[in-house]
Structure 1
Amino acid sequence: MKLTTIGIDLAKNVFQVHGVDERGKAVLKKPLKRDQMAAFFANLTPCLIGMEACGSAHFWANKLQAMGHTVKLMAPQFVKPYVKTNKNDAADAEAICEAVSRPNMRFVPIKHGEQQAVLALHRARQGFVKARTAQANQIRGLLAEYGIIIPQGIAHISKRLPEILEDGENGLPGIFRHLIARLGDHIKELDRQAQELEVQIQAWHRENAASKKLAQIPGIGPITASALVASIGNARNFENGRQLAAWLGLVPRQNSSGGKQTLLGISKRGDTYLRTLLIHGARAVIRVAERKAEHARSWLAGVMGRRNKNVAAVALANKNARIVWALLAQDRDYKADYGLVA
């Protein structure tokens, strides 16, 4: 039995394995428990292994690559068309095995441990920020039931809450005052946790040359730069800057047919978090650029003259994504006047 290609349907405890030989004939169909996986693949001749990019996929990809195998990860939506029958673990493993052998299949770059750790910091910080926003909205809504209105913004919560709690004439019951004080302490704790994680992210950013390089681009700061470096990994996995922008969902969707090109809004594919950071950074650049005299003849001013600010922000985020690819893939430093003719 000479295995050349294997598809693994990942799970928590029981993994389904499907293997074929050089002629494409199925020669292996078996389930493996988690504690059997390492020993089974350590005794196999190095071969091509395909998996869906899902939970624990990067861990197993790194582990199997260390054993000499070639591992490729695929987005689940690209594997689904190869499922021939009803969904079950065996059919999924067979579909993965078939999909990984396709010459035009798109693969997901494998992340190493440090990339995963930095992205974990980002995800945890994002969770604290969302929880902080939700808690602020709850406080604002509860106080509104007693006729006390707090303007939008986290800063207004921390500023107004002590005054509201100390005001004995606003009609708030004692039990409600204790509740609001508790919720106020909770929002302070969430804010502290988010700030501590941000400090860790910035410390990693200062030690990473690629991240510091990206932070030179207007609209990209330490948070965005570190998230991009950790998510992209090797930028040469993308052929050009447009592929990176498409991977981030910053290019138009198409509904073209019969030779007629129909472009819609942006596709919003890929990582929502990265796309949001880039667009928010672009909005900050637009706010600053409007107050500068040299902005009048810039590329950004031309876009803003034709379209509204939201479209201009997405266009600038798209441009920044392409610059990110150029800096990482070609090992360049950012130059604000690059390509300009004196």
Structure 2
Amino acid sequence: MINQSLSSSDLSACTTVAVDLAKRVFQVAGEDALGQVLYEERIKSREAFYTFLCQLPPEVVVLVETGPGAQAWARQLQGQGNLARILPARLVANHRSGAKNDRNDALAILRAGRDSNIAAVPIKSAAALAMQALHRARQGYIRRRTAISNQMRGLLLEHGVTLAQGDVAISQTIPRVLEDATQPLPDMLRELIDELLGEWHHMGERINVLTGRLETAANDDKTAKRLMTVRGIGPIIATALLAKQAEPERFSNARMFAAYFGMVPEQNSSGERVRLGKMSKRGDGYIRSLMIQGAHSVLRQVRPDSQQPDDLRLLRWLGRLGRKESAVRLANRNLRIVWALLQNEQTYRRQPGNGQVAISH
């Protein structure tokens, strides 16, 4: 029988407490060491929830799922001596029974907390969250700028005006088209395209400002500078990895670290038959995308006549696998190198011998 009274004795018997977070309403469920739910409560204000957390015994483990506010509450719990765990919301949903509501969500968090195969999300520092905010804002500007450019291309194409690929066509061709009186464009459309072009330029300026901030942060951070010694990792990727705070010591080897970002083949195996498919694409899609973009930039710069051992490896990959699969393989390799560099104070350097090794200063 579940006791829903606000009894301190019930709460004191709990070893684990799960909270379904919201902006103002918090659903709480607690269980003992045997997994029996002893406590449930619905808290209807942030102030009352803060008071509730402050009254928790230090040995109680608090579980929440990823979402807005999870990091802030987790740092609050850490500061007062409680162990806080943030569980991925996608995996918590697999443990939900019944309809989706706050009570079932809290109980699902409790069940997910007992699943040893679910790894908790790292609790980030305020500085890491600020770095993450820069990345998210920059990525948002990039998406909106791309949407505006596609919109301008589509609007002009409806009037028979085609544009080449790339930003140069937007920044140089569109102004000439708007100034050309021979183009069959209504004045209303010319005015609209001019406004969209101004917004497109403004988005580019914002992207450049945020990129400059991230580059400055990378050059001021010793760990980021060590990561940037790896081919294919620049300031944007280095700061994104730092903001992730993936805690490489949680992973038993470099392959598990790469798998955390979905950079390994998907498996569909049974018995003695091992079937490997396409990239699993699990984990942080933003960092995975950055790593593949960085790998593509490296492959574009490889000279066909190079005799460097690492370049020869890349050329073999290109000849056997093609450019896209080679980029994925290089991104996977770079993540494994990152795992090794984050374990110590070493710097990565390319060597003319049997391959690339990480050596200390």
Task: Determine the structure 2 residue equivalent to 1:279.
Answer: 292
Is residue 303 from structure 1 mapped to residue 317 from structure 2 by the alignment?
yes
Large movers: runs of 4+ above 6 Å:
none
Contact 1:41–1:64 (CA under 8 A) maintained in structure 2: yes
Task: Determine the structure 1 residue equivalent to 2:15.
Answer: 4
TM-score (norm 1): 0.94
Alignment of 1:18-37 (within 5 A): 18-33=29-44, 34-37=46-49
Contact 1:219–1:278 (CA under 8 A) maintained in structure 2: yes
Task: Determine the structure 2 residue equivalent to 1:319.
Answer: 333
Q: Which amino acid in structure 1 is aligned with residue 183 of structure 2?
A: N
State how far apart, in whole Å, the 2-side matches of 1:71 and 1:339 are. Answer: 47
State how far apart, in whole Å, the 2-side matches of 1:321 and 1:229 are. Answer: 13
State how far apart, in whole Å, the 1-side matches of 2:91 and 2:190 are. Answer: 54
Is residue 335 from structure 1 mapped to residue 349 from structure 2 by the alignment?
yes
Contact 2:128–2:245 (CA under 8 A) maintained in structure 1: no
Residues 134/177 of structure 1: CA separation in 2 closer, same or farther (3 Å cut): same
SS at match of 2:81: coil
Is residue 110 from structure 1 mapped to residue 123 from structure 2 by the alignment?
yes
Q: Which runs of 5+ in 1 are unaligned?
A: none
Contact 1:4–1:20 (CA under 8 A) maintained in structure 2: yes
Alignment of 1:189-338 (within 5 A): 189-295=202-308, 298-337=312-351
SS at match of 1:110: coil
State how far apart, in whole Å, the 2-side matches of 1:341 and 1:57 are. Answer: 43
State how far apart, in whole Å, the 2-side matches of 1:57 and 1:19 are. Answer: 18
Residues 173/294 of structure 1: CA separation in 2 closer, same or farther (3 Å cut): same
State how far apart, in whole Å, the 1-side matches of 2:117 and 2:285 are. Answer: 25
State how far apart, in whole Å, the 1-side matches of 2:97 and 2:315 are. Answer: 52
For residue 148 of structure 1, report the CA deviation from its aligned partner.
Answer: 1.8
For residue 292 of structure 1, report the CA deviation from its aligned partner.
Answer: 4.9
State how far apart, in whole Å, the 2-side matches of 1:82 and 1:159 are. Answer: 54
Task: Determine the structure 1 residue equivalent to 2:183.
Answer: 170
Residues 241/94 of structure 1: CA separation in 2 closer, same or farther (3 Å cut): same
Q: Which amino acid in structure 1 is aligned with residue 344 of structure 2?
A: Q
Task: Determine the structure 2 residue equivalent to 1:38.
Answer: 50
Q: Which amino acid in structure 2 is aligned with residue 324 of structure 1?
A: V
Q: Which amino acid in structure 1 is aligned with residue 52 of structure 2?
A: F
Task: Determine the structure 1 residue equivalent to 2:159.
Answer: 146
State how far apart, in whole Å, the 1-side matches of 2:116 and 2:334 are. Answer: 31
Contact 2:20–2:102 (CA under 8 A) maintained in structure 1: yes
Task: Determine the structure 1 residue equivalent to 2:27.
Answer: 16
State how far apart, in whole Å, the 2-side matches of 1:103 and 1:168 are. Answer: 68
State how far apart, in whole Å, the 2-side matches of 1:168 and 1:147 are. Answer: 15
Residues 329/253 of structure 1: CA separation in 2 closer, same or farther (3 Å cut): same
> Residue deviations 1:312-333, cap 9 Å, x none?
1100000001001110123321
TM-score (norm 2): 0.89
For residue 112 of structure 1, report the CA deviation from its aligned partner.
Answer: 1.6
Residues 227/82 of structure 1: CA separation in 2 closer, same or farther (3 Å cut): same
For residue 100 of structure 1, report the CA deviation from its aligned partner.
Answer: 1.6
SS at match of 2:266: strand
**Superposition RMSD in Å:** 2.0
Structure with more contact order per residue of length (Cα contacts < 8 Å, sep ≥ 6): 1
Q: Which amino acid in structure 1 is aligned with residue 337 of structure 2?
A: I
Which of 80, 89, 110 pairs up with 1:76? 89
For residue 233 of structure 1, report the CA deviation from its aligned partner.
Answer: 4.2
Contact 1:5–1:101 (CA under 8 A) maintained in structure 2: no
Residues 266/120 of structure 1: CA separation in 2 closer, same or farther (3 Å cut): same
Contact 2:18–2:109 (CA under 8 A) maintained in structure 1: yes
Q: Which amino acid in structure 2 is aligned with residue 31 of structure 1?
A: R
State how far apart, in whole Å, the 1-side matches of 2:218 and 2:242 are. Answer: 9
Contact 1:215–1:222 (CA under 8 A) maintained in structure 2: yes
SS at match of 1:298: helix
Q: Which runs of 5+ in 2 are unaligned?
A: 1-8, 357-361
SS at match of 2:348: coil
State the percentage of identical aligned residues.
38
